[in-house]
Amino acid sequence: MSITRREAMTAVFEGRPLDKLPVSVRLDLWHKDLVSSGCVPKAITGLSQEEVEDYLGFARAARYRKSQPAFRFRSWEERAVTDGDVTRHEYVFPERVLAKETARSAEMVRQGIKGHALSYPLKERADYDVMIAHMEDAYLDFDLQGFCELDEATGDAGLPLLILGSCPAHGLMLGWAGYENFYYHRADFGETVDLLIEQRERIYRRDLWPALRDSPAYLILHGVHFNTQMTPPPVFERYFLPYFREFNQAMHEFGKKVLFHADAEMGGLVRHVMEAGFDGADCLATAPLVPQRLEDFLEAWQGKIVCWGGLPSILFDPSFPMSSFEKYVSHMIDLVRKRNDFIFGASDNVMPGAEWQRLLFLAKATGCAVGG
DSSP string over 220-276: EEEEE---TTTS-HHHIIIIIHHHHHHHHHHHHHTT-EEEEE--S--GGGHHHHHHH
Q: Band of the pLDDT at 163, cuts 50, 70, 90?
A: very high
For range 122-139, the mean pLDDT = 97
Beta strands in 1-105 (DSSP E): 63-64, 70-73, 77-83, 86-92, 97-103
State pTM to two decimals: 0.94
CB of 12 closer than 8 Å to CB of 22: yes
For range 172-183, the mean pLDDT = 96
Closest by Cα among 296, 307, 311 to 363: 311
CA distance 127 to 176: 10
CB of 88 closer than 8 Å to CB of 101: yes
Q: Band of the pLDDT at 206, cuts 50, 70, 90?
A: very high
Q: Band of the pLDDT at 109, cuts 50, 70, 90?
A: confident
Model confidence at 113: pLDDT above 80: no
Other Cβ atoms within 10 Å of 42 Cβ, number: 6
Model confidence at 37: pLDDT above 80: yes
Residue 141 to residues 114, 129, 148, 281, Cα–Cα distance (Å): 20, 22, 17, 26
For range 14-38, the mean pLDDT = 95
Residue 256 to residues 70, 137, 206, Cα–Cα distance (Å): 22, 30, 18
For range 10-21, the mean pLDDT = 96
CB of 30 closer than 8 Å to CB of 345: no
**DSSP-derived 3-state class of residue 315:** helix
Torsion of CA 261, 174, 62, 28, to 10 degrees: -100
Closest by Cα among 121, 143, 114, 125 to 76: 121
How many helices (H) and strands (E) in the chain? 15, 13
Residue ranges and CATH numbers for the domains of the chain are 5-71+139-365 (3.20.20.210)
Residue 149 neighbours by CB under 8 Å, 6+ apart = none
CA distance 109 to 97: 27
Model confidence at 235: pLDDT above 80: yes
Q: Band of the pLDDT at 220, cuts 50, 70, 90?
A: very high
Question: In this predicted structure, what is the pLDDT of residue 371?
Answer: 84
Q: Band of the pLDDT at 2, cuts 50, 70, 90?
A: confident
Q: Band of the pLDDT at 1, cuts 50, 70, 90?
A: low
CA distance 52 to 21: 19
CA distance 203 to 55: 43
Closest by Cα among 104, 111, 105, 108 to 32: 111
Express each pLDDT in 264-319 by its tens digit.
999 999 999 999 999 999 999 999 999 999 999 999 999 999 999 999 999 999 99
Within 13 A of 372's CA, how many CA atoms are on the CB side? 13
For range 174-202, the mean pLDDT = 97
- Residue at 359: amino acid letter: L
